[in-house]
Structure 1
Amino acid sequence: MRALITGAAGFAGRYTAAELLRRGVVTTGTDVPSAPPPPGLTWVPADLTRPDEALRAVEAAAPDAVLHLAGQPRVGASFDDPTGTIRANTGTTVNMLEAVRRAAPAARLLLVSSCEIYGEVQPDRLPIREETPPAPASPYAASKAAAELFARAWAHTHGLRVAILRPFNHTGPGQSPHFVCADFARQVAWAETGRHPPVISTGRLSIIRDFLDVRDVAAAYADALAADLPPGACFNIASGRGVALREILDIFLALARRPLQTHEDPARHRAADIAALVGDAARFRERTGWAPRIALRQTLADLLDHARAAR
């Protein structure tokens, strides 16, 4: 198999590239020209918001399978720049669909969407199945939902072999501190030095999410690329277990090398915060055999060790 990964220099992209290379897959990566390429890849720098550069990347890779990971990944940032988020998430998807249609029409294309498209779901509807209607609560989620519609349109109209993946929250070593687990890890790592106050600032700790290790998600993406998923179909990638942010914080406090206090900061609250997102990945598991392997505590310990090394 010859695979092309967009967003290959990003958090999940780097792990997925490493996983594919470990499996012996001939892998080409692409990302914005300023991004540092991961080791071992054939590298094609490209700005995928430009149709000509998306086409050039696909032509250079000549792929059998494409994983479209590139995009703007932050819910909060999408409120600051909704137009840019649409361009980065929906626009690049359209450009990649067209590029694959023109240059690699027989290739399998996997669009990485997001659990955020589901929006607020009633507790009795958890864990969320793929049939749950999308109800985006942010520009980020709306841009991902729109990208899914374009993918289905290209599958229906052009016969493109495109399927949709909806990963739930994932974290691990190297994640940006713009995300909650990595933010907690960085705060703990700095507080341990004694040069910062021994207080961890938080947002709402009652929020519940379905957390995966990024290494398990990378394995899921690699399994999906190797599978023959039905065109137009969507698949949750999830553990099925909801974890409150309070539990995440408690694990970090237990791992900390000194006693720490916590403070809930109202400035960290977001109007678009969704109370609970927990997924049912039975459909994906039945198709691929994938299941998460890394325990949450191990993920958070590895994340904290990475933050300590970076301080």
Structure 2
Amino acid sequence: MRILLTGASGFVGRHALTSLSAAGAEVHAVSRQRQSPGPSVRWYLADLLKPGIPAAIVDEVRPDGVLHLAWTVEHGVFWTDPANLEWSAATISLAAASARAGVKRFVGVGTCYEYEWPDDAPCDERATPLAAHTLYDTSKDACRRIMEARFAGTETSFAWARLFFLYGPAEGPNRLVSSIARNLAAGKSAACSRGRAVRDFMDVRDAGAALAAIALADVEGAINVGTGQGYPVSAVASSLGELAGRPDLVRIGDLPDRIGEPPFIVASVERLNREVGFETSRSLKEGLADALAFWNAQIENGRSL
């Protein structure tokens, strides 16, 4: 199966690429940065925000399927970034070009922030209401609705993968797991809030594999990409301290709690497990250990991201 993968060099995309290639897909990967050629992938240097580029890429590749990950993702910025609107337009253009070209499968990537989160129950794709919170999730959901309508009645099967809380090696240094792991690797104290919020943390390598499985499946509609397990933020921070052998450096409660923080955001993964046939392969402890090992190596080699 020939797959067009956007955002292929990003935090999630690189792992989706690896899993697609391992599954035997012919991967045509798009990035705004030049990449080294590989035996199982053909790279395209392109900026999908430029008018006409999404259609040109589809026309050149003539893919059987599209897995579209590219979006604005700068930590702390993407929630309100005006570029969300530009990416919405580019995404719709890519979908329209795919429909015209007769692409058989299109998978877009959304966010768990599209949900109106229950206080103590998992987010279910078919039962949990949706709600607008920020420009980011509003733009994502608007794209989903438009593409769902565009692909209706065509030969293109459409799925929408909602990502939950990803972490892992090479994660941006200011996110929760990476910031704590980086400080611990450097022998510094790692401040945290009281960490009472419960979240569904998924290793990015499993997320990439899940997205690849969805792209190669025929399951339609929204599909949660998470583990189905919820852990308090404080438990994740404490686990990192234990793994580093320095629990004393983890300072629970040193940072203020976020006002209005949702108490519980966890995925229902019945569709992912039963319909797609995918289950995570790493425990939280295993994933955190790998994330910590990554930052230990970075510090030892005098590097940081």
Q: TM-score, normalised by structure 2?
A: 0.89
Give the CA RMSD over aligned residues.
2.1
How far apart are 1:116 and its partner, in Å?
A: 1.3
Amino acid at match of 2:99: R
Equivalent residue number for residue 130 of structure 1: 125
The correspondence for 2:251, drawn from 250, 262, 271, is 262
**Cα gap change, 1:249/1:266 in structure 2, threshold over 3 Å: closer, same or farther?**
closer
Equivalent residue number for residue 189 of structure 2: 199
**Cα gap change, 1:177/1:64 in structure 2, threshold over 3 Å: closer, same or farther?**
same
Partner of 1:78, secondary structure, is coil
Q: Does 1:145 align with 2:141?
A: yes
Q: Does 1:294 align with 2:282?
A: yes
Q: Work out the CA distance in 2 between the residues paired with 1:37 and 1:92.
A: 25
How far apart are 1:302 and its partner, in Å?
A: 0.4
How far apart are 1:121 and its partner, in Å?
A: 2.3
Amino acid at match of 2:182: R
Q: Work out the CA distance in 2 between the residues paired with 1:189 and 1:107.
A: 46
How far apart are 1:273 and its partner, in Å?
A: 3.6
Equivalent residue number for residue 195 of structure 1: none
Please tell me whether the aligned partners of residues 137 and 272 of structure 1 are also in contact (alpha carbons under 8 angstroms). Answer: no
How far apart are 1:256 and its partner, in Å?
A: 1.5
Correspondence list, 1:208-219, <5 A? 208-219=198-209
Q: Does 1:99 align with 2:87?
A: no
How far apart are 1:67 and its partner, in Å?
A: 0.4
Q: Does 1:278 align with 2:266?
A: yes
Amino acid at match of 2:251: T
- For residues 154-176 of structure 1, the C-alpha deviation after alignment (integer angstroms, 9 at most, x for no partner) is 12265542211112212111111
The correspondence for 1:117, drawn from 94, 114, 120, is 114
Q: Work out the CA distance in 1 between the residues paired with 2:28 and 2:193.
A: 39
Tell me, which stretches of 5 or more residues in structure 2 are unaligned?
A: 300-305
Equivalent pairs, count:
296
**Cα gap change, 1:133/1:74 in structure 2, threshold over 3 Å: closer, same or farther?**
farther
Please tell me whether the aligned partners of residues 238 and 250 of structure 2 are also in contact (alpha carbons under 8 angstroms). Answer: no
Amino acid at match of 2:82: T
- Higher share of residues assigned helix: 1
Tell me, which stretches of 5 or more residues in structure 1 are unaligned?
A: 192-197
How far apart are 1:266 and its partner, in Å?
A: 4.5
Partner of 2:223, secondary structure, is strand
Q: Does 1:190 align with 2:204?
A: no
How far apart are 1:119 and its partner, in Å?
A: 3.9
Please tell me whether the aligned partners of residues 209 and 243 of structure 1 are also in contact (alpha carbons under 8 angstroms). Answer: yes
How far apart are 1:303 and its partner, in Å?
A: 0.5
Please tell me whether the aligned partners of residues 49 and 95 of structure 1 are also in contact (alpha carbons under 8 angstroms). Answer: no
Correspondence list, 1:35-74, <5 A? 36=35, 39-40=38-39, 41-73=41-73
Amino acid at match of 2:124: R
Q: Work out the CA distance in 2 between the residues paired with 1:139 and 1:54.
A: 23
Q: Work out the CA distance in 2 between the residues paired with 1:75 and 1:272.
A: 19
How far apart are 1:153 and its partner, in Å?
A: 1.7
**Cα gap change, 1:179/1:35 in structure 2, threshold over 3 Å: closer, same or farther?**
farther
Q: Work out the CA distance in 2 between the residues paired with 1:244 and 1:266.
A: 15
How far apart are 1:130 and its partner, in Å?
A: 0.6
Percent of matched pairs sharing the same residue: 29
Q: Work out the CA distance in 2 between the residues paired with 1:148 and 1:301.
A: 35
Q: Work out the CA distance in 2 between the residues paired with 1:296 and 1:261.
A: 18
